Amino acid sequence: MLQGWVIVLAAFAYLGILFAIAWHADRRADAGRSLIGNPVVYALSLAVYCTAWTFYGSVGRAAATGIGFLPIYLGPTLMLALGWLVLLKVVRVAKANRITSIADFIASRYGKSQLLGGLVTVIAVVGVVPYIALQLKAVSNSFTILSHYPEIVMPDRAVAVPLWQDSALYVAAVMAAFTILFGTRHLDATERHEGMVAAIAFESVVKLVAFLAVGLFVTFGIHGGPVELFDRAREAPELARLMVADDTAGGYGRWAGLVFLSMFAALLLPRQFQIAVVENVDESHLKRAVWLFPLYMFLINLFVLPIALGGLLHFGAGGVDADTFVLTLPMAHGAEGLALLVFIGGLSAATGMIIVETIALSTMVCNDLLMPVLLRLPRLGLHERRDLSGLLLGIRRWAIALILLLGYAYFRVAGEAYALVAIGLISFAAVAQFAPALIGGLYWKGGTREGALAGLSAGFLVWAYTLLLPSFAKSGWLPEDFMSQGMFGIDLLRPQRLFGLAGLDEISHCLLWSLLANVGAYLGVSQWRTPNVREARQATRFVDGVIDRGADGWRGSARVKDLLPLAGRFVGPGRAREAFAQYARSRGAAGVEALPADAGLVHFAESLLAGAIGSASARVAVASVAKEEPIEIGEVLDILDEASQVRTANERLQELDRMKDDFISTVTHELRTPLTSIRAFSEMLNDDPKMPLAERTRFLGIIVAEAERLSRLINQILDLARLEAGRVEWIRGEVDLAGVVRESLDALGQIVKDKGAAVEMRLPGAGPVVLADRDRLVQVMLNLLSNAVKFVAPGEGRILVEVDAADGQARVAVADNGPGVRPEERELIFEKFRQGTGDGGTLTGKPQGTGLGLPISRRIVEAFGGRMWVENAPGRGARFLFTLPLKGGDNGGAIATGATGGSQ
Amino acid sequence: MSARILIVDDEPNIVVSLEYLMKKEGFEVAVAADGEAALAQVAAFAPDLVLLDVMMPKKSGFEVCQQLRADPARAGLRIVMLTAKGRDAEVAKGVALGADAYVTKPFSTRELVAKVKSLL
């Protein structure tokens, strides 16, 4: 009964059901009652990951390598179970930026680069074509096998069949027609396809039911349950090895490689990105998918090994291709209905993959490859065309047909040389090249457009050289010695032994070299320059998830009457008008026409267009009507300047913060030191009432001195804090500097005498006169003089104090013959708590004092418009100087009063 | 024979107090005012325990501690770090460098004496 027409009829009936579901879901969506607002539907649609490859190929792989089929399903399971935070971030960023495809995502991340979007598109198309070929191969093979029922005949090699008799060609044609009908009926502003998602969820159920049915049939129908099946298999020695892991280092390496690879594939394959990210309606669905999707994976893999073992037991090795066991086992046992169900299940798996993959690819080809080019060609006059949505749909339809044609061509050229699984892995390795740019772009702000371009190109070239070209060579399309001797006969360039690396399977080998080249180039080239303004803005949006609702870098403006028709051309006039009206309401404008022609409006139009034609194309389209003020080179420099000023200010703030921490920690230290002495001596006196009087007196003296030091320290800290905060009340008046010096010296007379120092004064009888706070100037002089006394050697000290005036400035100098200040410390000593160490060192190794005297003095002098610094005294020692503007002329620059010139 | 203690601190008054405390307990005492002098005194005086200040000119207490611990001949030497900075990170650093105890200034004289005795 299973004649060809029955099978074809069943297939079309099934496709009809899918179409009906999609139609219904789209109608419901338009009515606002979405069918897919459900986490189960989302998780099921994610199972588009399981294609005909899973459906037929897993069993084939299990028959060859036992549980070696598992890593390809463990990867996606891990991706959702462990990597769902990454996935969540991708979903959020994509939604916020109205991302339409993986090419759009990467292009947008690196400054909306059209070149990058184009490159990703090319890699995706070239990389995924073998995968599509594999679906065609699976459907056409299963059709051929089933149509020979009840005989079991393996299909001829594709090349042996004339073109017009090749069922794969017809499968490709039907698929193209179906996908075009399915996915490009209308152009959606958000690039979402609710109907498609609903149909995919349905087909996921169908393929699962079909596969489970075969599994149950083989396990319980043909055999007496799993125990009996495995027992029988264990008796056959060549089957027993399938039930254990390949226990070699290479085996584990291969497992790890495949898990890694399929983990990426679950996110980076265009169809996975489309379903998981673009079609996601609610990010909370992701949380349910975290366990539902792995559950699906578990169920669809449950019977893989039993079916493989059943097939090997029934057919023996060779003769029947293990990739077909799912179909041929029911056929061999006369289960016609089940065989037909299996065919539908396989068709379902292939259809789901082809529909989503080609829709995703056609969107990319249209938005990221063709539109940017077409928009730039003025000869096409796209700007004058009233409605471009028809053109967009046309491009997509042609792209779908072309991609399927390419898939078919690959199938004819290389399809027969590989098992199903090997073909799929070639595609997996290609899309894995997106990982560094995409994941790096989500977590690292330093990536640049050139870095992403370099990484993708390098990875893609290595992939093509180590996997794609060999797949052609194995099909006889390239000369044999390309494989065995390397390009140009160079041994190190042997495609699957690159640089002599042996011992890896071809996939792990390719993965290692391509990702090494990719990551290396991405990181290396990104280091070459810092991200420019546009890249940096996108980096902030992607890495921090920050969406500035502002002008998005648009400096220009455009009027509604230009933007609205532009948007209308791409998304349809009605839809555009509706969106503009909504935007007008949100801005509080009276109507669409009342919208102000500003950068915000331009940004809104761009993001509306981005949903339809991708961010890179949208930018070009909007640029054609927006009057973007030309950015002059000067302005660019201004922007850069501003950025570096902000950076400098930021660094300064951090520096200040650090200084504050240092200050507090130093203050604490300085306060604790006298406290330690006070406490220690107090306790000692307290604990020892019989302490000799001499000791007691000495210790009490220390306590008093340390207490004085403590209060001096506190006073100075408070004084400095007030000075720094500018909260000092100055009592300004005319001050005679010579008088100040004399008064200060009188106050220190006793200390000077104690130290045995000689003081020489060179100052006028009165003046010069400055406008300042007298007490504060005395404080400065006391500080300088006591420092000088402190640092000179006892009995040998010579201190010279000079006061004079010149060029409107009064000048005071205090020189000593102490150890001096080393040149590198001349600024340091004016900082808080930084004391000079001196050359000779003092008796205790540490100068007495708080380390606050000089900073306070300098601030006081500066408060009255003067300067303070230190230089070498003639001969030996230090010479501290300060100047103050003379009282007199309006701006302090007048000729000195009569008191100029110092007496000798 | 009484134990020998080296006091290392650049604050003369703190040295005076420590010296008095240790001598009163019957220890033999030597003094150093900076890190370099401390290393020289360890060699000359061969103390059983060092009371070591952290913030000192020329060589910090951490450096001294590190250098002493690098010398296997002085494995039995006890090191008590004294510092005015009581932050956890400082304590951790001192302990990591091999100090036997860590005392924060201002210290309690009784506790310090008890700690020194317990280490000897």
Neighbours of A190 (CB within 10 A): 14
- Contact predicate A783/A743, CB 8 Å: no
pLDDT digits (tens, 9 = 90+) for A224-250: 888 888 888 777 766 666 666 555 545
Cβ distance A676 to B55 less than 8 Å, yes or no, reads no
Secondary structure class of A173 (helix, strand, coil):
helix
The residues, any chain, with a CB within 8 Å of residue A600's CB and separated by 6 or more, are A549, A550, A551, A587
Q: Best residue in A661, A672, A676 to probe B by mutation, most B CBs within 10 Å? A: A676
The residues, any chain, with a CB within 8 Å of residue A82's CB and separated by 6 or more, are none
DSSP code, position A896: P
The residues, any chain, with a CB within 8 Å of residue A516's CB and separated by 6 or more, are none
DSSP code, position A829: G
- Which residue of A lies nearest to B86 if distances are taken between CA atoms? A669
pLDDT digits (tens, 9 = 90+) for B11-26: 888 999 999 999 988 9
Of B14, B58, B87, the CB nearest to A676: B14
Torsion angle, alpha carbons of A456, A460, A462, A468, to 10: 170
Chains A–B, number of C-beta pairs less than 8 Å apart: 68
Q: Which residue has the tokens 């190109």?
A: A457
Q: Best residue in A844, A848, A850 to probe B by mutation, most B CBs within 10 Å? A: A844
Cβ distance B106 to A680 less than 8 Å, yes or no, reads yes
| Distance between CA atoms of residues A851 and A839, nearest Å | 18
| Distance between CA atoms of residues A491 and A481, nearest Å | 11
Cβ distance A665 to B85 less than 8 Å, yes or no, reads yes
Secondary structure class of A410 (helix, strand, coil):
helix
pLDDT digits (tens, 9 = 90+) for A178-223: 888 877 766 554 556 788 888 889 999 999 999 999 898 888 888 8
H or E segment to which residue A804 belongs: strand A798-806
- Which residue of B lies nearest to A683 if distances are taken between CA atoms? B109
H or E segment to which residue B82 belongs: strand B78-83
Q: What is the mean pLDDT of residues A399-411?
A: 87
pLDDT digits (tens, 9 = 90+) for A327-350: 888 888 888 888 888 888 988 888
Q: Which residues pair with A869 in a beta bridge?
A: A881
Cβ distance B33 to A845 less than 8 Å, yes or no, reads yes
User: A681 to chain B: which residues are within 8 Å by CB?
Assistant: 13, 17
Is residue A634 very low, low, confident or very high in pLDDT (cuts 50, 70, 90)? very low
- Which residue of B lies nearest to A849 if distances are taken between CA atoms? B11
Q: Does B39 score more than 70 pLDDT?
A: yes
Q: Does A413 score more than 50 pLDDT?
A: yes
Secondary structure class of A112 (helix, strand, coil):
coil
* Centroid of chain to Cα A546: 12
- Which residue of A lies nearest to B53 if distances are taken between CA atoms? A673
**pLDDT score at B87:** 63
Q: What is the mean pLDDT of residues A120-130?
A: 87
Cβ distance B106 to A665 less than 8 Å, yes or no, reads no
Cβ distance A845 to B55 less than 8 Å, yes or no, reads no
pLDDT digits (tens, 9 = 90+) for A550-595: 444 455 567 777 777 777 777 777 778 888 888 888 777 777 777 7
Q: Does A797 score more than 80 pLDDT?
A: yes
Q: Which has the higher per-residue pLDDT, A557 or A615?
A: A615
Is residue A291 very low, low, confident or very high in pLDDT (cuts 50, 70, 90)? confident
Joined tokens for residue A355: 């529909």
Cβ distance B84 to A672 less than 8 Å, yes or no, reads yes
| Distance between CA atoms of residues A815 and A429, nearest Å | 78
Joined tokens for residue A812: 């005071």
Strand order in the sheet with B101-104: B28-32, B4-8, B49-53, B78-83, B101-104
Q: Which has the higher per-residue pLDDT, A120 or A835?
A: A120
User: B55 to chain A: which residues are within 8 Å by CB?
Assistant: 669
Q: Does A121 score more than 50 pLDDT?
A: yes
Secondary structure class of B42 (helix, strand, coil):
helix
* Centroid of chain to Cα A328: 48
Cβ distance B16 to A676 less than 8 Å, yes or no, reads no
| Distance between CA atoms of residues A451 and A435, nearest Å | 13
Cβ distance A680 to B57 less than 8 Å, yes or no, reads no
Q: Does B6 score more than 90 pLDDT?
A: yes
- Which residue of B lies nearest to A665 if distances are taken between CA atoms? B85
Nearest to A402 by CA among A370, A432, A374, A427: A370
- Which residue of A lies nearest to B21 if distances are taken between CA atoms? A684
User: A667 to chain B: which residues are within 8 Å by CB?
Assistant: none
The Cα-based distances of A66 to A59, A294, A304 in angstroms read: 9, 21, 10
Phi/psi at A638 (5° precision): -60, -45
Is residue A838 very low, low, confident or very high in pLDDT (cuts 50, 70, 90)? very low
Q: Does A430 score more than 80 pLDDT?
A: yes
User: B10 to chain A: which residues are within 8 Å by CB?
Assistant: 844-846
Sign of CA dihedral A412, A418, A421, A423: negative
Q: Does A809 score more than 70 pLDDT?
A: yes
pTM over 0.90: no
- What share of chain A in percent tops pLDDT 70? 81
Q: Which residues pair with B32 in a beta bridge?
A: B8
Secondary structure class of B31 (helix, strand, coil):
strand
Q: What is the mean pLDDT of residues A89-113?
A: 85
Residues constituting chain A: 904
Nearest to A825 by CA among A769, A872, A778, A862: A872
The Cα-based distances of A189 to A249, A569, A636 in angstroms read: 51, 12, 34
**pLDDT score at A640:** 54
User: A687 to chain B: which residues are within 8 Å by CB?
Assistant: 109-110
Secondary structure class of A73 (helix, strand, coil):
helix
**pLDDT score at A457:** 92
- For A93-97, A237-241, A672-676, which range has the lowest pLDDT when averaged over its residues? A237-241
- Which residue of A lies nearest to B106 if distances are taken between CA atoms? A676
Please give, rounded to a whole number of angstroms, the shortest distance from the CA of B98 to a CA of chain A: 23
Average pLDDT, rounded, for chain A: 78
Q: What is the mean pLDDT of residues B113-120?
A: 89
H or E segment to which residue A790 belongs: helix A774-791
pLDDT digits (tens, 9 = 90+) for B45-95: 889 999 998 877 777 888 888 888 888 888 788 999 887 765 666 677 777
β pairing state of B49-53 and B28-32: unpaired
- Contact predicate B44/B85, CB 8 Å: no
Cβ distance A845 to B14 less than 8 Å, yes or no, reads no
Q: Which runs of consecutive H residues, i.e. helices, occur in A626-773?
A: 633-687, 693-725, 737-747, 749-755
Residues of B with CB under 8 A from a CB of A: 10-14, 16-18, 20-21, 24, 33-34, 55, 57-58, 84-85, 87, 105-110
**pLDDT score at A833:** 67
Q: Best residue in A665, A668, A677 to probe B by mutation, most B CBs within 10 Å? A: A677
Q: Which has the higher per-residue pLDDT, A726 or A352?
A: A352
**pLDDT score at A459:** 92
| Distance between CA atoms of residues A458 and A550, nearest Å | 36
Q: What is the mean pLDDT of residues A470-486?
A: 68
**pLDDT score at A366:** 85
Query: What value of ipTM does the predicted structure carry?
Result: 0.92
User: A846 to chain B: which residues are within 8 Å by CB?
Assistant: 10-11, 33, 57
Cβ distance B14 to A677 less than 8 Å, yes or no, reads yes
Cβ distance B17 to A673 less than 8 Å, yes or no, reads no
Instruction: Identify the burial level of A84 via C-beta atoms within 10 angstroms of its C-beta, where 0-12 means exposed, 13-18 middle and 19 or more buried.
Output: middle
**pLDDT score at A172:** 83
Q: Which has the higher per-residue pLDDT, A823 or A741?
A: A741
Q: Of the ranges A24-28, A485-489, A569-573, A653-657, which is most confident?
A: A24-28
The Cα-based distances of A734 to A136, A772, A861, A885 in angstroms read: 101, 6, 15, 12
**Where are the extended beta strands (E) located within A300-450?**
none
Is residue A481 very low, low, confident or very high in pLDDT (cuts 50, 70, 90)? low
pLDDT digits (tens, 9 = 90+) for A690-707: 888 988 999 999 999 889
Residues of A with CB under 8 A from a CB of B: 665, 668-669, 672-673, 675-681, 683-684, 687-688, 695, 702, 705-706, 837, 844-846
Of B10, B14, B21, the CB nearest to A684: B21
Q: Does A138 score more than 90 pLDDT?
A: no
pLDDT digits (tens, 9 = 90+) for A24-71: 888 887 777 777 778 888 888 888 888 888 888 888 888 877 777 788
Of B24, B57, B109, the CB nearest to A846: B57
Q: Does A129 score more than 90 pLDDT?
A: no
Q: Does A415 score more than 60 pLDDT?
A: no
User: What is the phi-psi region of residue A674: left when phi exceeds 0, alpha when psi lies from -120 to 50, beta otherwise?
Assistant: alpha
Interior CA angle at A426 toward A422 and A428, to 5°?
A: 110
Cβ distance A684 to B20 less than 8 Å, yes or no, reads yes
DSSP string covering B5-60: EEEE-S-HHHHHHHHHHHHHTT-EEEEESSHHHHHHHHHHH--SEEEEESS-SSS-
Nearest to A179 by CA among A1, A381, A393, A447: A393
Q: Does A627 score more than 60 pLDDT?
A: no
**Where are the extended beta strands (E) located within A221-303?**
none
Cβ distance A683 to B57 less than 8 Å, yes or no, reads no
| Distance between CA atoms of residues A325 and A309, nearest Å | 10
User: B107 to chain A: which residues are within 8 Å by CB?
Assistant: 676, 679-680
